[in-house]
Structure 1
Amino acid sequence: MGVRTRTGDSFALPVAAAIAIGRIGCFVGGCCFGTPTSLPWGVVFPQVDQLPRHPVQLYEAAFHTVAAVLLGAALQRQWCRGQLIKIYVVVYAGWRFLTEFIRPEIRLVAGLTWYQWASVVLMAGFGWLWYHDTRKR
């Protein structure tokens, strides 16, 4: 199609906003909940059990909302041009790696979940791309 410019920056903000909205849907639907908690903001999902659980859907919605705002500011100010999608994926993968510790997912190798292993691969891959691109400039 003859496109000769990087397009990832144009996808970063809409992806962050879409995931934020999707995670609100997860919260309303009662899926993707966290592990039991004694924190005052724990939420009971009656379709699961009567235990207050981490509302990880809301944590993630907040993360992506903040990311969308920061990505919008970066786009407007032309910060990190051509790198925003890479930065977003690396930071999100790091966030997801950490929040997996409060999600009731099956632990695989080394006590990590499949999502944590995927996060490690994504952080390494996109981190390498980001590093490689900044070295070329």
Structure 2
Amino acid sequence: MLVHPHFDPIAIHLGPFGIHWYGLMYLLGFMMLLWLGKSRIRKHPEYGWTEKQLDDVLFYGALGVILGGRLGYVVFYQPVYFFSHPAEIFAVWQGGMSFHGGFLGVLVAVALFARKEGKRWLAMMDFIAPLVPPGLAAGRLGNFINGELWGRPTDLPWGMVFPQVDALPRHPSQLYEFTLEGIVLFLILWLYSSKPRPVGTVSGLFLLGYGSFRFLVEFTREPDSFLGFLSLGLTMGQWLSLPMIALGLWMFLYSARGNP
């Protein structure tokens, strides 16, 4: 039986201050996006990107992730609580971020940047989409280090006890998401986008891939205690992933037929 290591959530202690592992994972995700993006820009100048534009869009995207992720958590997961305690909406250091909210925030941020640069928004998203999964992997690794978002009880041989929860072996669902949403999705998108594709297909494949992987992993992940299971026995994460799957499938098929 595996036991979750008790990691110190603070990676670096600087007197009364500290740098948290989760913050480092965000930084690592942004750095990997820059490295991968600049590598692709150098190899494929035909994409029409410059390294400065990538730096700028990362700034816009980071704001979208943070603002959208927090607001998404507030609206999707605990609206009643936060509307009763509005000052705590800004207390991001207490935790509480939503991928789906962060994703919507990135869409808005990139749309603003595309308008500023006079570029086509969907083509920009096609370029950015393959660069995102490594950041998702880093985020899930941060969840595992923090011992949060644990899975449901299991009798599988790799079940892991999270002592801060109980003594039951549970799915290490953070590592499932690290593998599927991070590594597998990255390989699919990177290889598919390595050749010219109809505009919209890469973005559609990202939506379809992430939504499908997240929907499946949610069957092993313990639902949020303040929400539990929703209609049809699905979790909030699954309900938020269903529109992604539907839209991604439609975008991919529609764009692949030459209808960007």
TM-score (norm 2): 0.49
List gaps (5 residues or longer) in structure 2: 1-116
Q: 1:76 aligns with which of 194, 198, 201?
A: 194
1:30 and 2:147 correspond: yes
Match of residue 172 from structure 2? 55
SS at match of 2:251: helix
Match of residue 232 from structure 2? 110
1:53-98 residue CA offsets vs partner (Å, 9 max, x unmatched): 1011111111121221232222323356642122121121112112
Amino acid at match of 1:29: N
Q: 1:3 aligns with which of 81, 101, 119?
A: 119
Deviation at 1:108, TM superposition (A): 0.9
Runs of 4+ in 1 over 6 A off after TM superposition: none
Deviation at 1:119, TM superposition (A): 1.2
Deviation at 1:51, TM superposition (A): 1.2
Contact 2:143–2:174, Cα closer than 8 Å, also in 1: yes
Q: Which has the larger radius of gyration?
A: 2
Check 1:77–1:21 CA distance in 2 against 1; reply closer, same or farther (3 A cut).
same
Match of residue 120 from structure 1? 242
Contact 1:7–1:82, Cα closer than 8 Å, also in 2: no
Segment of structure 1 superposing worse, 89-98 or 27-36: 89-98
Amino acid at match of 1:94: S
Q: Aligned residues, how many? A: 137
Check 1:123–1:92 CA distance in 2 against 1; reply closer, same or farther (3 A cut).
same
Check 1:81–1:28 CA distance in 2 against 1; reply closer, same or farther (3 A cut).
same
Segment of structure 1 superposing worse, 2-11 or 19-28: 2-11
1:107-131 residue CA offsets vs partner (Å, 9 max, x unmatched): 1111111111111111122322333
Deviation at 1:13, TM superposition (A): 2.1
Using CA pairs below 8 Å that are at least 6 residues apart, which structure has the higher relative contact order?
1
